[in-house]
């Protein structure tokens, strides 16, 4: 399999497309499979966000990015969930940004909005999706859900504090992040180096990015402790 698999003919064009990123290795979780297939509430972690996006009235079509070799299980999962919006499952790239770039190739040219979401944040709620879409109608190119940083922030070098950074105005960015499709495509046509989220590339390419209130339950599952915590919230 080289460039991914088409699940159903793309009957959808315009509207809001979701890119669901599940192509990471999940090294810090330390299990024998990608994080997307860690067990959460008795089913693969990917099932939670896939189900939620598929049932969201704000989402018209979904492209899933799976880890190499995990395309088939992802498609099977999508079938088991009886999803109706999954258009394709692509093989992700070496970095998150590369996975986004590959998935964008399967997003319709007519798409108006693209939501990019980490499968590692299983508990995506419609209220947050609605919140990130709002500012796109007010002249913004992108919207990020974020939470104010609660801890005091230190810049550390070789185990010693170099500086205490004022946390005023500092926010931790989450996903789903929403973009006007042309702005996101423009951002991903350039250099992807150093990008840890989509919005940073849109900012770099001159786009205006708004911030809306995030959600504590959008915690990104990184470690086994995170997985247990998210499971307790199900």
Nearer to ligand CTP, 31 or 148 (CB): 31
Using CB atoms, what's the residue nearest to ligand CTP?
24
Q: Which two tokens stand for residue 43?
A: 């089913």
d(CA 232, CA 40): 10
Asked if residue 176 binds ligand CTP (CB under 6 A), the reply is: no
Structure tokens at 96: 């998150």
73 binds, among ligand CTP, Mg ion, none (CB under 5 to 8 A by kind): none
Closest approach of ligand CTP to the CB of residue 163, in Å: 26
CB closer to Mg ion out of 135 and 176: 176
Measured between its terminal Cα atoms, the distance across the chain in Å is 35
Cβ(116)–Cβ(21) under 8 Å? yes
**Residue 8 binding result from Mg ion, ligand CTP, none, given CB thresholds of 5 to 8 Å by partner type:** none
CB 217 within 8 A of CB 125: yes
Least separation in angstroms between CB 48 and Mg ion: 19
**Contacts (CB under 5 A) with Mg ion, residues 108-127:** none
86 or 103: CB nearest Mg ion: 103
Integer Cα distance of 175 and 21 in angstroms = 10
Are 113 and 106 in contact by the 8 Å Cβ rule? The answer is no
Which residues contribute to the site for ligand CTP (CB under 6 A)? 21-28, 35-36, 65, 92-96, 99, 118-120, 220, 222
């Amino acid at each position: 399999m080289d460039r991914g698999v088409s699940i159903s003919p793309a009957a959808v064009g315009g509207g809001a497309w979701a890119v669901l990123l599940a192509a990471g290795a999940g090294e810090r979780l330390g299990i024998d499979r990608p994080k997307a297939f860690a067990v959460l509430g008795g089913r693969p972690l990917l099932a939670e966000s896939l189900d939620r996006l598929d049932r969201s009235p704000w989402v018209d079509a979904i492209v899933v990015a799976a880890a190499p070799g995990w395309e088939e299980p992802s498609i099977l999962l999508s079938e088991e969930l009886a999803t109706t919006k999954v258009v394709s499952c692509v093989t992700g790239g070496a970095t998150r940004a590369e996975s986004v770039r590959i998935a964008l190739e399967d997003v319709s040219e007519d798409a108006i909005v693209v939501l990019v979401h980490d499968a590692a944040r299983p508990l995506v709620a419609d209220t947050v999706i609605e919140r990130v879409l709002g500012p796109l109608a007010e002249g913004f190119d992108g919207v990020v859900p974020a939470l104010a940083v609660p801890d005091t922030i230190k810049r550390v070098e070789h185990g010693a504090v170099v500086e205490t950074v004022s946390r005023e105005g500092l926010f931790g960015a989450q996903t789903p992040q929403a973009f006007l499709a042309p702005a996101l495509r423009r951002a991903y046509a350039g250099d992807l180096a150093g990008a840890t989220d989509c919005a940073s590339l849109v900012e770099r390419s001159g786009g205006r990015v708004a911030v809306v209130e995030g959600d504590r339950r959008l915690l990104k599952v990184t470690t086994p402790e995170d997985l247990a915590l998210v499971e307790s919230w199900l």
